[in-house]
Structure 1
């Protein structure tokens, strides 16, 4: 009996070790796909000069990745269910790494845009499998910890992108210049693939009907039209054309939802399981995720405008001003799982409300001082605002998914990042079209005040989330 027990214990320990190593591969994939959203911004002036990129090509280098990523998530999730999450993840990591190398060796602006689109599609292939892989690889008791690391990695990568991009271009290792911001994914992709190939072991995919091609086309076209129109509003302001496109996109989305309901009634597998929204946690969480990603994207945009355009901070001083925010977000991410186990959703509500309160305080401070900022005075509120974001953002997904069984978790794997991308597009477009063109201190104060009001409202809505079930 002792020998059997020892062998079982050793096998259990080996299985847990394999799960964590496979998870490391997934985190590397998350890191790559998120850092490539922001790292290219720093390299844009250099690659523009080198490739002779036009203004439209510059925009497509940035937006092509995000659009391709967002518009193919649902289809990538469906393919993952069809061929297997492991197979789809490994193929996507390979494609993403290859597309990154293609970006890094591009010799023309058009070629780089095409490579970025390919990179975005491959990134969606990775992202659409991640939640299903994480929830299948770990017992529910580990989900809080796993999602905390997942959320912290994604957030850290997004913030690190511009810093790492600037460091790589300044160092100019091997004379690669701007090419290095893409080529850095080659070693990361190789390690991610090796870890997943060796340690990611999932059961065979359940039997599933062929991919819902009609749904894939409808979802892709409607998302492309919606996010493309929002990006147009962000760049060019209020015009009738984008609003007509948005109306058409919403009409296509309604047709898509009707098609999904029809497939469900006929007993066939839809691309999106609408019964996910019957769960209160997922329903409320979907609203909060959309608002949070829109809010945070708008916040980063607003702070950049305020500090550099209105207060004339240098990039270095801007980085120093936001360092306490990053430190606070890291502290909140680490503390959030323990605090949520103790006090439940009230921790998230307090966190996002504290963030909103600090942003309101900052708006009032700017108004009173006429834009004169003492960084030493601002350290405390900036740190607390970051702490609130960390407390809220890391535990939102576990609370949102807590009431779902494994089958519905799989269905949420592509839908959740799609919701996040819609939030990003809506938040940035609304902020930029309504406030950005004011380019005054008063406009910045208004932007920050609006963000604060939305954040505090989110704190109230958060209380409608169910608490995580008690762990045995």
Structure 2
């Protein structure tokens, strides 16, 4: 298979195209629209439920454990089955599995909207994740086998921009739907909105998408599927729930147990390759430098945006009291820059400068995170959305310079018959990296939040003379409230403080606690961002392991 961007390679293949190799499908751009809409629907749904949780708790009486299960159920069922979903497309047809996944997603969304209790909602969310795991891997696979090499970069930049748009618009769309409550549906509207979108995607895919699968007969690797599922579950479950549960013993045991299971999976895949040539994952993919190194970079890189946006949302909404809509609108510069810069990167910059384009992206994101940390620390609670614009532009531009060219590079030398499996690995790596980022950067944030509460109380309380006699109790309340995993809970120390305070003193106490909370969040956020920026340094270093594909200037003109 010819390598795109290699000037010494002939412009036409010397051997006939494989049955599912890219061809001049006249409907491919219409099919791409369907794929992007499905991608947006999946990512939106994974983020949209966050702002609806209070309404769900009031309506269904959901406990804290049930709330965790609603979010973790989707993430876990999605992440652990992505590799299997990709291989199913290679074997049974990518269009067929895409249609199956979208149909399942629509049905699961309807069940979520109709849920009468938390058990039904949790089960329906898990079913949504399962359907998404069948649907999502087909997206990159179909892109890879449908578009010509010279078109892949532009298409992947659109794919990356859709990811960025969905991530930041989830809270905005969710907040608007819950607040406006169309047809008096309340929180159920966040799931009902998937129904017309999913039906339209089904119709479009049926009409415009052509079928493709691996040209070589393959068998379903049941043992490999089970080992991959168990191994990823042992990794993802503690990373998803460990911090919120206080890292119980079972979470550490699961992380340790994941290693031998993954090792056994690798041994089985080698055996399967030798015996019948039908492994779940072709390990030869990782011998390709662009794929192996690119997957490693993606694992670490995916952790940064996930951790950043988690701490950013907590800081703005939990610390500064911004609404979900205000928070989402602040990210508009980021959402705009990802597709604009991404398109430029894959068409011009990456072909001309190779991996230096990706390094520039990592450094731009580092600068964006560092400048946001500086602005948050300097301006404190007086920061506005306008102050965030330069940092968001740097962040969006950096992601545009890095993510689309990286995905293009990872897919560059993947053969069409491995497109589904490769897509599943890419998506699973992104999910694992995001979970790692949330666990590590989220852990840093909450640890720093607990540590900063006391010192900030010592700075704030001397100025609040009205609560001088209760300064120790106020400090204890603030420290307990900000030192717990669930920041919405009211600790006993705060309940006791309120109970023994007179009506005239409650306002003064509330004012002192509010100032302590705000300043603690500001200090914690700045500290966390400097750690996140530092994490981009090894990412930039790993980028030099990637092959340095470049073409002559006249070929990119």
TM-score normalised by structure 1 residue count? 0.91
Match of residue 263, structure 1, among 267, 272, 288 = 272
Which of 361-370 and 443-452 deviates more?
361-370
Q: 1:223 Cα deviation (Å)?
A: 1.1
Q: How does 1:170-185 map to 2 (within 5 A)?
A: 170-185=179-194
Q: Secondary structure at the match of 2:140?
A: helix
Residue aligning to 1:253 = 262
Q: 1:372 Cα deviation (Å)?
A: 5.0
The CA distance in 1 between the partners of 2:277 and 2:25, in whole Å, is 36
Match of residue 200, structure 1, among 209, 215, 233 = 209
The CA distance in 1 between the partners of 2:371 and 2:126, in whole Å, is 41
The CA distance in 1 between the partners of 2:76 and 2:97, in whole Å, is 20
Residue aligning to 1:399 = 409
The answer to whether the Cα contact below 8 Å between 2:48 and 2:171 also exists between their aligned partners in 1 is yes
Match of residue 344, structure 2, among 332, 335, 343 = 335
Q: 1:161 Cα deviation (Å)?
A: 1.2
The CA distance in 1 between the partners of 2:203 and 2:409, in whole Å, is 32
Q: Secondary structure at the match of 2:26?
A: helix
Residue aligning to 2:362 = 352
Residue aligning to 2:10 = none
The CA distance in 1 between the partners of 2:296 and 2:381, in whole Å, is 34
CA separation of 1:335/1:49 partners in 2, compared to 1, >3 Å: closer, same or farther?
A: same
- Larger helix share, 1 or 2: 1
**Structure 1 segments unaligned to the other structure (5+ residues):** 1-13
Residue aligning to 1:447 = 528
Q: 1:199 Cα deviation (Å)?
A: 1.7
The CA distance in 1 between the partners of 2:35 and 2:188, in whole Å, is 25
Instruction: Give a deviation string over 1:253-306, Cα, whole Å, max 9, x none.
Output: 111111111212324311111111111111111111111211110010121223
CA separation of 1:58/1:417 partners in 2, compared to 1, >3 Å: closer, same or farther?
A: same
Match of residue 127, structure 1, among 126, 136, 143 = 136
Residue aligning to 1:464 = 545
Q: 1:87 Cα deviation (Å)?
A: 1.3
CA separation of 1:254/1:123 partners in 2, compared to 1, >3 Å: closer, same or farther?
A: same
CA separation of 1:15/1:308 partners in 2, compared to 1, >3 Å: closer, same or farther?
A: same
Q: 1:430 Cα deviation (Å)?
A: 1.3
The answer to whether the Cα contact below 8 Å between 2:95 and 2:210 also exists between their aligned partners in 1 is yes
Which of 320-329 and 384-393 deviates more?
320-329
Match of residue 253, structure 2, among 244, 257, 260 = 244
Instruction: Give a deviation string over 1:49-104, Cα, whole Å, max 9, x none.
Output: 11111111111111111111011112212222221112111111111111111111
Match of residue 383, structure 2, among 373, 396, 404 = 373
Q: How does 1:297-308 map to 2 (within 5 A)?
A: 297-308=306-317
Q: Secondary structure at the match of 1:234?
A: coil
Q: How does 1:209-248 map to 2 (within 5 A)?
A: 209-248=218-257
Residue aligning to 1:7 = none
The CA distance in 1 between the partners of 2:395 and 2:160, in whole Å, is 17
Q: 1:370 Cα deviation (Å)?
A: 5.6
Q: 1:313 Cα deviation (Å)?
A: 4.1
Residue aligning to 2:88 = 79
The answer to whether the Cα contact below 8 Å between 2:304 and 2:532 also exists between their aligned partners in 1 is yes
Q: 1:379 Cα deviation (Å)?
A: 2.6
The number of equivalent residue pairs is: 459
Instruction: Give a deviation string over 1:327-374, Cα, whole Å, max 9, x none.
Output: 333432332223223322212211211110232233244445566536
The CA distance in 2 between the partners of 1:289 and 1:357, in whole Å, is 19
Instruction: Give a deviation string over 1:114-159, Cα, whole Å, max 9, x none.
Output: 1111111000101122222111111111111111111111221122
CA separation of 1:94/1:382 partners in 2, compared to 1, >3 Å: closer, same or farther?
A: closer
The CA distance in 1 between the partners of 2:202 and 2:91, in whole Å, is 20
The answer to whether the Cα contact below 8 Å between 2:172 and 2:324 also exists between their aligned partners in 1 is no
Residue aligning to 2:304 = 295
| 2:435 is aligned with 1:413 | no
CA separation of 1:269/1:447 partners in 2, compared to 1, >3 Å: closer, same or farther?
A: same
The CA distance in 1 between the partners of 2:277 and 2:195, in whole Å, is 40
Q: Secondary structure at the match of 1:463?
A: helix
| 2:110 is aligned with 1:101 | yes
CA separation of 1:363/1:111 partners in 2, compared to 1, >3 Å: closer, same or farther?
A: same
The CA distance in 2 between the partners of 1:318 and 1:203, in whole Å, is 41
CA separation of 1:458/1:101 partners in 2, compared to 1, >3 Å: closer, same or farther?
A: same
The answer to whether the Cα contact below 8 Å between 1:399 and 1:467 also exists between their aligned partners in 2 is no
Radius of gyration: which is bigger?
2
| 2:372 is aligned with 1:362 | yes
CA separation of 1:168/1:59 partners in 2, compared to 1, >3 Å: closer, same or farther?
A: same
What CA RMSD, in Å, does the superposition of the two structures yield over aligned residues? 2.2
Residue aligning to 2:3 = none
Match of residue 116, structure 1, among 125, 128, 135 = 125
| 2:437 is aligned with 1:427 | yes
Q: 1:204 Cα deviation (Å)?
A: 5.6
The CA distance in 2 between the partners of 1:333 and 1:24, in whole Å, is 18
